[in-house]
Amino acid sequence: MSASTSAKAAQTAASAQTTSTSPRVLRWRVVDIVVASVVAVACAVIFLLWNVGYEVPSGALKALLPGVQGLLAGPWLIAGVLGALIVRKPGAALYTELVAAIISALIGNAWGPLTIVSGLVQGLGAELIFLAFLYGVWRLPVAMLAGAGAGLACGINDRILWYPGADTLFTSVYIASTTISGAIIAGLGAWLITRGLAATGALSRFTAGREATARV
C-alpha cells in the first residue's frame, strides 16, 4: 500500500470516528436555514407540478376503488422528510413542509389557503416521528416511518376537510393509501435523494454528507 493510500485510509477512518463520536448540535445554523429554505422552494415546485399532474391518475384510481387515490399523496409529503434528513435539526420537517405549502398556496392552486393547513399537519406528522427517535436516528426505516407519519396526518386531515361525509370504507382505504404513499414516495424517496446529494458532495457541511464520505 502506498503512503498516499495509507494517508487517505487514515483520514477516512478519522472522519468516520469523528462523525460517530462528535456530540450532536441541535441549534440551527444560518446554513441550515438557507438549505432548508432551498429544499422547501424545490419541493414547492414539485407540489405545483403535481397539483396538475395528479388529476388523470387520480380519476383512474377513483374508478378502480374510491379512496385509493390517496396513493398519489406522496409527492406532497416529501418536503418535510427530505428537509429533516438533510438538516437533522428539530423543526426541520415542519419548516420545510410548511414553507413549501405556503409557496404553493401563494402561487395558487385549487385548495387555496387550506394548503397551508395541510402543510402544517403533514409536517407535524413527519416531525413527531423524528422527535420520537430524539433526532438521533436517520436510517431508512425511520425515514419511511416519518413518511408514513406525514401520510397518516395527510389522510386524517383530508378526511376532515375534504371528505366530511365519507363512509367507513372510503375513510379506511384513503387513510391507508396516503400512509403507504408517504412511506414509499416521501420516506424512501427522500432517503434516496439525500444519499444521492451526499454522494455528489453537495451536503459536505452537513452530517448526512460527512457520513456518506466516511463510508467511501
Determine the pLDDT at residue 214: 60
Per-residue confidence (pLDDT) for residue 66, from 0 to 100: 94
Using alpha carbons, list the distances in angstroms from residue 56 to 27, 39, 62, 75, 173: 43, 27, 10, 15, 19
Residue 187 CA, distance from chain mean position: 6
What local confidence, expressed as pLDDT, does residue 101 receive? 98
For the segment 97-135, what is each residue's pLDDT rounded down to a tens digit? 999 999 999 999 989 999 999 999 999 999 999 999 999
- Grid-cell match 463520536, residue found: 21
The pTM assigned to this predicted structure is 0.87
Residue 85 near residue 103 (C-beta atoms within 8 A): no
d(CA 127, CA 110): 26
Report the percent of the chain where pLDDT is more than 90. Answer: 83
- Domains, the chain, in order of start with CATH, read 3-215 (1.10.1760)
- The pLDDT confidence band at residue 209, using thresholds 50, 70 and 90, is confident
- Packing angle of the helix pair 114-132, 92-107 (nearest 10 deg): 170
Per-residue pLDDT of 164-191, as tens digits, reads: 999 999 999 999 999 999 999 999 999 9
The pLDDT, as a whole number, for residue 17 is 45
d(CA 150, CA 88): 17
